Structures are given as C-alpha cells and as structure tokens.
Chain A
Amino acid sequence: MILKSLLLKTFYFLLFLLLGIYVTVYLHKKILAHMQSRRGPLHTGFHGILQTLSQTLKLLLKSPKNFLKSQNLVITIGAIISITFAIAAFLLIPLTGEIFFINVEISLPLCICFIVISNTGTFLSIDRTGLNTNKILGLLDRISTTIVFSVPLFISSLGPVTFASSFNLFEIVKSQGRFYNIIYQPLSMIVFSVTCLLLWQRLSLDVPSKNTYLNIDYLSTQTGLNLLMFSISEYINILSLSLLATLLFFGGWNGPGFLHPIIWTIIKTFILQVMFLFLYTVIPKIKGIKRKINISLAFLSSLSLLNLLIVIFVVLYLKPIFNL
C-alpha cells in the first residue's frame, strides 16, 4: 500500500516536471522571439506548440540502436549524472504546504548542491572527437562559471535561512507570512537572481552556448539520447532555480486565498522567468575568468555577506522588539 502510494506520487511529480519542462522550453522560445522582434516557432502545431515534441522525437530516433556499445561510456555516465541530480534537486522543492515529494530537514543546501553537481556532469563530455577549440573553450567557460558562481549563490541563500532560523524550505516560506523576504533583504535577492541567471548556462550573461547558433558549443559532438539528457537537465535546473528564488524571496505559495496555493507558486515562477529572459536578451555577456572572479568573489559575494550581517543584526536585536 505504501509502495503503491509512493509510486503514484513519483508518477505525478515526474508528470508535473515533464509538463513544466515542456512549457518552459516553449515559453523560452516564444517569449525570447517576441522580445527580439521575431515570431519563434509557428508551423508545428498551433503556433508551434509541438515544436519541442518533434525535436525530442528527432533526438530519440537519432540515437544509435546499440546505445551502450557505440557511445563513449564516460559521456553517458556524465549525462546520467546530470539528469539524475537535476531531478533529485527538483524533487526536494515543495510546491505548496501539502503538495511535496519529500520533506528533508536541510532541503535548501541539499538542493543547491544537487544543482551544482548536475552542472558538473557536462565536464565528463570531453572525448577525442571533441578536441576542437570551440568545444574546449565552451567547456572551460562552463566549468569556470559553475565553480565561481556557486559561491555567491549559496551565501545569498543564507539570508532567508538566517531570518527563518532553519534550512528547511517549508520553514523559510512560513517565515514570510506577513512580508516577503524581498522587502527585508533586496540585496540578497538581487545577488541570488544574478547568480541564477549566470548558472542557467543555456545563456544568460555568460554564454558558453548561444541559441542564435542553434547549437550548444560544449555538446557539439553529442547526439541522440546523450544530448537529450544534457539539455533536459539544463531546463530542469532552470525550472528549479527559479522555483527556489520564488520560495526564498517571493513568499512561495503565500497569497490571497481566492486562488489555490500551487497557482500562486506557478504564477510567481513564470513572472521570474520572464524577468530573467528579459535580462538575458538585453545585457551583454561577461567573458574571461578574471572578470568572472572579480564579479563573483569580489562583488556579488561581498554584497551577500553584507546582507547577511544586516540580517543577523535584525534577527538578534530588532526581531524580539518588533515581533516580526
């Protein structure tokens, strides 16, 4: 009986995840296109709704029949690592107070760790055929971005944690009952969103891959199932990063009672995604490891540390007085 309910739960969550990715990919294509005075996909289905499905089917059909023998095993392991940890990170995030997959005491740091590990899966995708400069530069870019920007991501998430005095995402959302964290700590929110944007990989300020080339640089030698796994894991990470931002700074499922809590979560995540997409199209990318280290360690990390100090002061001295 327990097994059956667990399986059902897993099924529903994976269905939600797949639908979420489908919608995310479609909206990325369509909204970006309209921001850039294009039209985006139009011909597959009504306004190109089936475009993502057709691309997925194409990749599945392109994969070789004897998959494990013909592919480099290391790359396949990398792909599996990236998709497994991406799904694991997503499953740790609660959608509402009632709808959640698992409740862990330290869900926030675990979730961030899983996202970073899933990003490292691509590091294994280097092989003999991938020895071109394009791919190596793209991979180096990606490695440096992941390593450098996971530091401010974690520090900035400590602000809400201190305020709720818990690492649990439920507690963090519960602490924002009256006012959202964006009012208390806008600095931390800015740092978190900027690092989210940078860790998106599928673009953002630093671009190992640009969608204008219709090709991902560091995956340029992959085909079939491998490429599908890598790119789906990226989209899952995009989804879970924006969900995390919603829970940490925008009050999660809190909202006026006339709508179901899950709808508030989805609406807030959608608005955040559109904001991120707008920033991505307008702002030029950062290039070079020196500039990245300057921005992440000197600027973003110190900003979030400053925010952390302010929050600690508030929690220690002001919170008991004003009963926040």
Chain B
Amino acid sequence: MENRKIKDYEEIEGYDIYIEPQFRPFGFPVGLYIALKDGVIINIKPEFGYLTTGVEKVVEGMEIDKAIPFIDRVDSSSAISPELTYCIGLEKTFKIDVPLRAKFIRTALCELSRISSHLLWLTRLANVLGINNALHYCLREREEVLHLIELATGSRLTPNFIRVGGVASNLSPRFIEEFRKFFRSFRKNFNMLKTFFLENELVVNRLNNLGVLIEEDAKNLAITGPNLRALGIKKDVRIDDTYGIYDEISFKIPVGEKGDSLDRCIVRMGEIEQSTSIISQAFYKMPEGEIRTYTEDINQFSGNTRSHIECPHGELAMEISIDEGKITKLRIKSPSYNNLLAFSRAVLGESVEDVEVILTSFDICVCEVDK
C-alpha cells in the first residue's frame, strides 16, 4: 500500500491537471493534459492509444475478402463505413461492376448507421449535460435502428456485410416490414428529441458560443464532416466526389454559422433528418435484381488504390496496395484523429468545467483515432 506508485499529474512539466483515460463522462479512453492560467485553459494535450488494435498491420498478407471483418473494427459507431471505403476502392481500380440493387442497399444501410452514430452522439451529449430523460429516449431510438441493422446484416455493431462487387445477402421481407413500422414512429419521436435539445433554453444557452472553432484552424488541421460544416463551409464527399447512388437522390447539406457546440448539434440533428429522407428515397427507387457480381480472377489482382467516403465523423480515406490478391499495405486516414486535434484548439480559452461538453460535441470515435 505504501509503496504503490500513483501516477501524479505534477510530474508532467508545464501542465496543471491530468484527466485520466478512465474518466467516465467522456465515454472513451482519452487522457488530457491541461494547462491553466486564471482558471482558463491555455494549453491542452490529448493522450491516446489505449484502444490500438493494429488493424493496418494485422491485415497485411491477407486475402481481399478475408480482411473485411477486421476492417469493421476501425469504427465502433458505424462499422459499415470502413467496409464501404475498402470495397469501393477495390471496385474502382479493378473495374468490377456493382449491381444497381446492391448500390441502393449499401446506401440505405450506410445512412441507417449514420443515424445510429448520430443518436449515440446525442446520447453522450445528454449524458454530459445531465439530462437523464433525453439520454434514455435517444437510446431507445438507437436500439430500434440497431435492431434494423441486425435484421439486415446479422450483427448490430460489426455487420461484415459489404463485399467486393456487391453485398453479402438480400434484404428480407421482414426487414422491409419492420422498417416501415419504424419510420412511421421515428419522425414523430425525433421531433420530440429535438425539443429536448434545440427548443430547451437551458441547453441552447449552455452550448451557444462554447468551443468555437476558427476557420483557419479547421483548414490547417484538415477537418472534415459535420464539424467543418458547422462553420458554414459546404463540403461533403457525397456531393463533391459522388459515389454509389447519391447523384440520383436529392438531399440537402445542413450547415451552421459560427462553428460552436450549438452549431455542431444543429448540423448533426439536420443530418439525421436528411438521412431519413435519403433512406426513404432509396427504398422507393430500389430496383429488383442481383446483389453481387462474382469475379473469379480476384486472386490475380495487383495494384494500388485509393478511396474516400463520407462517414458520420467526416471523410474516411484508405490507401490499399495489393499484390496477387493479397494486401501488402493498408493506410487509413480517419476523421476522428483530426477532430481530436481540432478539439484541442477549440477548447482554448474555456474553463475546465466545459471540457467534457466540448469534447463530446466534436463526436470523436477513439477506435478511429487509435486504429
């Protein structure tokens, strides 16, 4: 007991407070070294690496199809996006045609997982703000979305559903039935969730002008996704470099004004609404037909490829090298890593009590940061 060494925050030079990675309000393992002056944060240094899985190394030497379950583990909140990035990249270089129905199914499931990811983010925000009622209502909606994903793919969090050249299985009639039932109630319930956050004066006053990200910082740190759109910059891979069937579907890109926590909240709320409209359009236009094209010479592929998509946290990009059907190199550019650095800029000048709210408002997925 006496000899037990406690990691002391005073040992680190230049920092006043050390928040350990097991600090529960964050919901994920990120340590923070905080330097204070007159109760105001003047410097902050995030510490990460507690969730490292080494996907990039593990995957080396694997066959193309066998790597997909490992790539699932990159993103914990919407695992289907890294799968899609990987498959789209390979299809583009090796010129594999994807059936139209498969494209529609992919889009619908991606948007579903975007909704589930944003709902998880709302849950975290409610938890940090201390609104227990809203927390449980968000979780209830997310549970139903996850149930739908499970019905379609077989797994709630790690679907392992997208294949090179299509998808693994067709949608069952039961899925479509439950999906219709869910969507009727979801629009109504989501409006109720909006009242918890955006029409509640206490929440709006708390989030307003909190953790403002400057445009210069955002550009220097290559921020993408909802955090960039909260600044008023209309950038989205779904429209700028379109993939799948996004060019056949009409949807808006919600943007903010100032880039504070409230704007980030408004943008994500808007994205959930847009995602519901994308899904309903996709199901309306979805044709009958095949869901996968099989290629026999998949073992003779070799070459380099790049791809990027819009995942719930931002732009997820991959660089893949393949030699005779086996992966030799995989590099992942994850948006959450940049968001974490953006947080360390946006939090400057705020007080210590607001750190958890600002960190949560950036929607950081530590699986992505650490890979």
- The residues of B that contact A291 with a CB separation of less than 8 Å are 353
**Structural contact, A212 and B131, CB atoms closer than 8 A:** no
Residues 1-55 of B contacting A (Cβ, < 8 Å): 1, 6, 9, 17-20, 22-24
Interchain CB contact (< 8 A) of A134 among B23, B127, B131, B136: B23
Residue in B9, B24, B200 with the greatest tally of chain A CB atoms within 10 Å: B24
Nearest residue (CB) in B for A35 is B133
Distance of A213 Cα from B130 Cα, bound (Å): 11
**Structural contact, A37 and B140, CB atoms closer than 8 A:** yes
User: Given A35-B133, A37-B140, are A284 and B22 neighbors across the interface (CB < 8 Å)?
Assistant: no
Residues 111-144 of A contacting B (Cβ, < 8 Å): 128, 131-134
**Structural contact, A288 and B136, CB atoms closer than 8 A:** no
B 351-367 to A, binary, CB cutoff 8 A, 1 in contact else 0: 10110000000000000
Residue B243 interfacial (CB < 8 Å): no
Distance of A291 Cα from B351 Cα, bound (Å): 11
**Structural contact, A282 and B131, CB atoms closer than 8 A:** yes
Residue A28 interfacial (CB < 8 Å): no
Nearest residue (CB) in A for B2 is A128
**Structural contact, A284 and B130, CB atoms closer than 8 A:** yes
Residue A287 interfacial (CB < 8 Å): yes
Q: How large is the interface on B (under 10, 10 to 19, 20 to 34, 35 or more residues)?
A: 20 to 34
Interchain CB contact (< 8 A) of B203 among A210, A212, A284, A288: A284
Chain B interface, DSSP helix/strand/loop, else mixed: helix
**Structural contact, B202 and A284, CB atoms closer than 8 A:** yes
Interchain CB contact (< 8 A) of A210 among B132, B133, B140, B202: B132
Nearest residue (CB) in A for B137 is A37
Interchain CB contact (< 8 A) of B202 among A134, A203, A283, A290: A283
Residues 204-242 of A contacting B (Cβ, < 8 Å): 205-207, 210-213, 215, 217
- The residues of B that contact A207 with a CB separation of less than 8 Å are 130
Residue B135 interfacial (CB < 8 Å): yes
Q: How far is the CB of B225 from chain A (nearest CB, A)?
A: 26
- The residues of B that contact A36 with a CB separation of less than 8 Å are 132-133, 135-137
Distance of A196 Cα from B132 Cα, bound (Å): 19
Interchain CB contact (< 8 A) of B129 among A131, A284, A289: A284
- The residues of A that contact B132 with a CB separation of less than 8 Å are 32, 36, 203, 210-212, 280-281
Residue A65 interfacial (CB < 8 Å): no
Q: How far is the CB of B1 from chain A (nearest CB, A)?
A: 8
Nearest residue (CB) in A for B202 is A284
Distance of A210 Cα from B353 Cα, bound (Å): 16
- The residues of A that contact B57 with a CB separation of less than 8 Å are none
- The residues of A that contact B131 with a CB separation of less than 8 Å are 281-284
Residues 274-302 of A contacting B (Cβ, < 8 Å): 280-285, 287-291
A-B contact count (CB 8 A): 66
Distance of A128 Cα from B22 Cα, bound (Å): 17
A 63-81 to B, binary, CB cutoff 8 A, 1 in contact else 0: 0000000000000000000
Residue A178 interfacial (CB < 8 Å): no
**Structural contact, B130 and A285, CB atoms closer than 8 A:** yes
Residue B206 interfacial (CB < 8 Å): yes
**Structural contact, A212 and B135, CB atoms closer than 8 A:** yes
**Structural contact, A134 and B22, CB atoms closer than 8 A:** yes
Distance of A213 Cα from B128 Cα, bound (Å): 11
**Structural contact, B133 and A133, CB atoms closer than 8 A:** no
Distance of A283 Cα from B132 Cα, bound (Å): 8
User: Given A288-B353, A290-B351, are A134 and B133 neighbors across the interface (CB < 8 Å)?
Assistant: no
Residue A38 interfacial (CB < 8 Å): yes
Q: How large is the interface on A (under 10, 10 to 19, 20 to 34, 35 or more residues)?
A: 20 to 34
Distance of A154 Cα from B268 Cα, bound (Å): 44
Distance of A290 Cα from B200 Cα, bound (Å): 22
**Structural contact, A210 and B130, CB atoms closer than 8 A:** yes
**Structural contact, A288 and B354, CB atoms closer than 8 A:** yes
Distance of A49 Cα from B23 Cα, bound (Å): 33
Distance of A218 Cα from B24 Cα, bound (Å): 13
- The residues of A that contact B18 with a CB separation of less than 8 Å are 133
Interchain CB contact (< 8 A) of A281 among B9, B133, B353: B133
Distance of A207 Cα from B132 Cα, bound (Å): 11
Nearest residue (CB) in A for B24 is A213
Distance of A216 Cα from B82 Cα, bound (Å): 37
**Structural contact, A133 and B19, CB atoms closer than 8 A:** yes
Q: How far is the CB of A250 from chain B (nearest CB, A)?
A: 26
- The residues of A that contact B202 with a CB separation of less than 8 Å are 283-284
Q: How far is the CB of A62 from chain B (nearest CB, A)?
A: 19
Distance of A282 Cα from B126 Cα, bound (Å): 10
Residue in A203, A217, A285, A289 with the greatest tally of chain B CB atoms within 10 Å: A285
- The residues of B that contact A32 with a CB separation of less than 8 Å are 132
Residue in A38, A134, A284 with the greatest tally of chain B CB atoms within 10 Å: A284
Q: How far is the CB of B358 from chain A (nearest CB, A)?
A: 12
Residues 119-156 of B contacting A (Cβ, < 8 Å): 127, 129-133, 135-137, 140
User: Given A131-B6, A133-B17, A134-B24, are A287 and B136 neighbors across the interface (CB < 8 Å)?
Assistant: no
- The residues of B that contact A289 with a CB separation of less than 8 Å are 353
Distance of A210 Cα from B129 Cα, bound (Å): 11
Distance of A1 Cα from B23 Cα, bound (Å): 57
- The residues of A that contact B353 with a CB separation of less than 8 Å are 287-289, 291
Nearest residue (CB) in A for B129 is A284
Besides A128-B1, A284-B129, A284-B206, 4 other CB < 8 A contacts?
A: A32-B132, A133-B20, A203-B132, A288-B354
Q: List 10 A-B contacts (CB under 8 A).
A: A133-B9, A134-B22, A134-B24, A212-B132, A212-B135, A215-B24, A280-B132, A282-B131, A282-B133, A288-B353
Using CB atoms and an 8 Å cutoff, list the residues of chain B in contact with chain A: 1, 6, 9, 17-20, 22-24, 127, 129-133, 135-137, 140, 200, 202-203, 206, 351, 353-354
